[in-house]
Amino acid sequence: HPKDFTPVCTTELGAVGALEKQFAARGAKVIGLSVDPVENHGKWAKDIEEVTGSAVNFPVIGDPQLKVAKLYDMLPGDAGDSCEGRTPADNATVRMVFVIGPDKRIKLTLAYPMTTGRNFDEIIRVLDSMQLTAKHKVATPVNWKQGEDVIIAGSVSDEDAKKTYPDGWKSPKPYIRIVPAPR
Cα(first)–Cα(last) distance of the chain, in Å? 36
What's phi and psi for 13, nearest 5 deg? -65, -35
CA 177 centroid distance within chain: 28
User: Looking at 2-160, which runs of residues are DSSP E strands?
Assistant: 32-34, 60-62, 96-100, 106-111, 138-139, 150-152
Catalytic residue (one of 1, 2, 3, 9): 9
Is 9 annotated as catalytic?
yes
Residues marked active site are found at 9
